[in-house]
Amino acid sequence: MVLSELTQALLALFSGSHLVYLLGGVLLGLVIGILPGLGGIVGLSLLLPFLYGVEPTSALAMLVGLVAVISTSDTFPSVMMGIPGSSSAQATVMDGFPLAKRGEAARALSAAFSASLIGGVFGAAVLTVVVLAARPLILAFTSAELFMLTVLGLSMVGVLAGGSLPKGLAACGLGLLFGALGAAPATSEFRMVFGVEYLSDGIPLVVIGLAMFAVPEIVDLLRQKRAIAGAAQLGKGWLQGLRDTWRHIGLVLRCSGVGCVVGALPGLGGSVVDWIAYGHVVQSSRDKSQFGKGDIRGVLAPESANNAKEGGALIPTLLFGIPGSGGMAVFLGGMVLIGLEPGPSMVGERLDLTYVIVWSLALANVIGAGVCFLISGWVAKLTTIRYALLAPFMIMVISFAAFQTTRQLGDLVALFVVGLLGIFLKRFGWSRPAFLIGFVLAGNSEVYLYQALQFYSPEFLLRTGVLLIAALTAVSIWLGARKAPGAHAAAGDAGARATHLWPQAAFAAFVVAAFAVGIWDGLQHAFLAAVFPVTVGAVMLLPALWVLWPLALGRTHSAANYDHEVAGEHAGRPGVAGLWYYIWWLFGFLAACLLFGFLIALVGFFVAFLRLEAQASAARIALLTGTGIALICTIAWFLVLSFPAGLLQHYLDLPWPLR
């Protein structure tokens, strides 16, 4: 019965105009994936207004086509620019970008696309079979097991901590604290908002992701004043990349499995799937020495997992109407608009449509990977452009990606302020992946712990599922700890050591102060709202003080001593701009936004930056500025949004797009 449904769904997809819609979705998805920071939410929001009157099968094909390929094409910016193309391609940066800098971008991309393809098709295959039996499986994960899963996720911090474990732990704690910002789940009290209305909803994940990984990278690239690819080539290695995938096929399939499971369970959230896969490959590898420096396995793992996660994420979405991510929530909205209420009938009388989704997913992955191979030569040319010419576009796109999330000026402020934090975390060697894992898991770990305690009382810790996951966590920590001393030594040798420790000490003091503020703020609230931030603050004060202590005493031989300004490859090279120089540019742009609104500030920024930094001719400035503004206005028009307004708009009633 299942087989006949499957073939019928395939035939349905190949009849009429369905394929055209699928292709449309795929192409839009590829473009959205390439633009940094833009992911499924934006892509699907662009499609929703066009669903009216479209036949359900075609509409589904289009929506699925879009969702499926974002994780394929978001590899481009991750590998070639070191800027994640969407929130599920952050881990790809870790090894993909070093490979590109080594002139092996072609190898990294071809490995990534083939791994994406396998992951995506794997996800579709899992969806086909598992969706029929997933109901009891998903019901078996109660709040208690989901809480334990967040603990398992947090245990990955051990392998993602980088050179210094105390710094990694404290960075994770900082992430947990940032994640606890806003309304407390149990009492709805506002924590750490300091009277700022914007903070009451918490800071959106997209903003945090861009602030951690895009802002520091843009500033770094600008300071080095050159094109991204040194010799400006994709390099060779298309076949090498395919061979890499084949050689590590076991890893690729394993990470596809990880991606499916993480995608399907609401406890972890699809946005950490790449880090979980990356953590997994690091902890399960004997030779860890090349990770972070261009190990191809560090590209294969997240890329297979992030495409496979969509197949997994569709399971709870279709069966229970529970979206695992913001993107899936919009997908669900799209389903309802075309008249499909998710629920048990999706594996009953509407099974045909579920299989249309399965086939669309598989086909889209094949087409998406193929198109990516085809266009990569052309996209690669972007990296040969002088970065000063490209930077205004990058800043425009990430600002846009940030503020389309809640459409408030606060998004821009948060992007640059947290971006500054990201710059310093990077400079002083505090693990940004650890921060991100903490941030993403903060909400879920608090909510599920609270719910498990309410539903089961503390005995929930003795449930079989909880014990199993606890055992898995122990194994994960043990695997990660293997050979850890060697890794430490390697990181310690990486470069010269700073002799002036006060910048590091000041930053460590800032981290300590942040935990103190978290504790102080928590104590103002009712017990249920206070317990999480206070515990995090109190526990994390220890590693933070552990780092601060030797730095404050000026012990240059301490393991805590790391300053990228001294140890980094750019240090001491002629023509490298100071750290603060481009930070002032960014904050100048932000100040202009606050005064004149986003669009006017953007025009000013383009002109000033291209003139002063890129020394472009007037004609070129006009052309580039015009293109940028036209692009951003077009997307804004279709998304029906007004750009953030400044003081000027407060006094003057201007017409769109200036209002």
Partner 1 sequence: MTRSRNLLAAFAAMLLGALLSAASPAFGADFSGKRIEFVIPFGTGGGSDVWARFLAPRLSEALPGKPVVAVRNEPGGGSITGTNQFAARARPDGLTILGTSGSTQFPYLLGDPRVKYDYKDWTVILATPTGGVVYAQPDLGAKSADEVMKLKGKRLVYGSQGATSLDLVVPLAFEILGLDLQVVFGMKGRGPARLAFERGESTVDYQTTAAYLQSVEPLVKAGNAVPLWAWGTINEQGELVRDPTFPDLPHFGEVYEKVHGRKASGTGWNAWKSFFVAGFAAQKMVFLPKGTPKDIVDTYRQAVARMVAAPDFKDAAQQALGEFDQGIGPRAERLAELATGVDPEARAFVRDWLTRKYNVKF
φ, ψ for residue 227, nearest 5 deg: -75, 160
Pairing state between β 182-183 and 190-191:
antiparallel
CB of 643 to partner 1, least distance (A): 13
The SS3 of residue 573 is coil
**Residues of span 381-420 touching partner 1 by CB under 8 A:** 406-408
Stretch that binds partner 1, among 48-56, 61-69, 381-389, 461-469 (CB under 8 A): 48-56
**Segment 246 to 285, residues that bind partner 1, using CB under 8 A:** 266
**Can you read off the two tokens belonging to residue 141?**
């994960």
Enter the tokens of residue 121.
Answer: 């098709």
Per CB under 8 A, the segment of 82-90, 198-206, 286-294, 381-389 that binds partner 1 is 198-206
CB 189 within 8 A of CB 207: no
Q: How far is the CB of 521 from partner 1 (least distance, A)?
A: 15
Q: Does 195 bind partner 1 (CB under 8 A)?
A: no
In angstroms, rounded to a whole number, what is the distance separating the alpha carbons of residues 586 and 604? 12
- Cβ at position 447, least distance to partner 1 in Å: 4
Interaction of residue 133 with partner 1, rule CB under 8 A: no
Looking at the Cβ atoms of 53 and 485, the one nearer to partner 1 is 53
Instruction: Check binding of 189 to partner 1 (CB under 8 A).
Output: yes
Q: Which residue number, 77 or 326, has a Cβ lying nearer to partner 1? A: 326
Per-residue b or e along 404-425, where b marks 16 or more CB atoms closer than 10 Å to that residue's CB: bbbeebbbbbbbbebbbbbbbb
Show the binding pattern over residues 315-354: x = contacts partner 1 (CB under 8 A), - = does not.
-----xxxx--x--xxxxxx-xxxx-xxxxx---------
Distances (CA, A) of 134 to 247, 265, 307, 331, 567: 32, 11, 20, 20, 50
b/e per residue 94-106 (b: at least 16 CB within 10 A): bbbbbbbbebbbb
Q: Any idea which residue has 């400006």 for tokens? A: 232
Candidate residues 1, 133, 139, 619; the one interacting with partner 1 per rule CB under 8 A: 139
According to the binding rule CB under 8 A, does residue 45 interact with partner 1? Answer: yes
For 578, which DSSP code? P
- CA distance linking residue 401 with residue 41, whole number of Å: 10
Query: Cβ of residue 93: shortest distance to partner 1, in angstroms?
Result: 27
Nearest approach, Cβ of 653 to partner 1 (angstroms)? 9
Q: Could you say which residues in the range 79-108 bind partner 1, by CB under 8 A?
A: none
Single residue of 185, 503, 588, 657 touching partner 1 by CB under 8 A: 185
246, two tokens: 């084949």
Nearer to partner 1, 187 or 240 (CB): 187
Q: Is 53 near partner 1 (CB under 8 A)?
A: yes
In whole angstroms, give the CA distance from residue 576 to residue 212: 22
What is the secondary structure of 406-442 as a DSSP string?
H-SHHHHHHHHHHHHHHHHHHHTT--HHHHHHHHHHH
Asked if 156 touches partner 1 (CB under 8 A), the answer is: no
Minimum CB–partner distance for residue 411 and partner 1 (Å): 10
Specify burial of residue 217 (Cβ count, 10 A radius: 0-12, 13-18, 19+).
buried
447 binds partner 1 (CB under 8 A): yes
454 binds partner 1 (CB under 8 A): yes
Taking residues 460 to 499 in sequence order and writing x for each that binds partner 1 by CB under 8 A, - otherwise, the string is ----------------------------------------
CB of 99 to partner 1, least distance (A): 36
Size of the site for partner 1 (CB under 8 A): 56
Which of 238, 439, 450, 606 binds partner 1 (CB under 8 A)? It is 450
Q: Are 92 and 112 in contact (CB under 8 A)?
A: yes
Interface region with partner 1, contact rule CB under 8 A, candidates 98-106, 417-425, 450-458, 623-631 = 450-458
Q: Which of 89, 93, 86, 90 is nearest to 44 (CA)?
A: 86
Contact between 214 and partner 1 by CB under 8 A: the answer reads: no
Residue 528 CB, shortest distance to partner 1, in Å, is 8
Q: Does 378 bind partner 1 (CB under 8 A)?
A: no
Cα–Cα distance measured from residue 136 to residue 121, given in angstroms and rounded to the nearest whole number? 24
* DSSP tag of 50: G
Query: Among residues 197 and 287, whose Cβ is nearest to partner 1?
Result: 197
Determine, following the binding rule CB under 8 A, whether residue 647 of this chain makes contact with partner 1. Answer: no
- Exactly one of 494, 506, 509, 641 binds partner 1 (CB under 8 A); which one? 641
Q: What is the secondary structure of 268-310 as a DSSP string?
A: T-GGGHHHHHHHHHHHH-S--TTTTS--THHHHHHHHHHHHHH
According to the binding rule CB under 8 A, does residue 198 interact with partner 1?
yes
The 589-628 contact track toward partner 1, x by CB under 8 A, reads ----------------------------------------
As beta bridge partners, residue 183 has 190
Question: Hunting for tokens 């993403």 — which residue is that?
Answer: 440
Where does this chain bind partner 1 (CB under 8 A)?
Answer: 41, 44-45, 48-49, 51-53, 138-139, 142-143, 183, 185-189, 197-198, 200-201, 266, 320-323, 326, 329-334, 336-339, 341-345, 406-408, 447, 450-451, 454-456, 526, 640-642
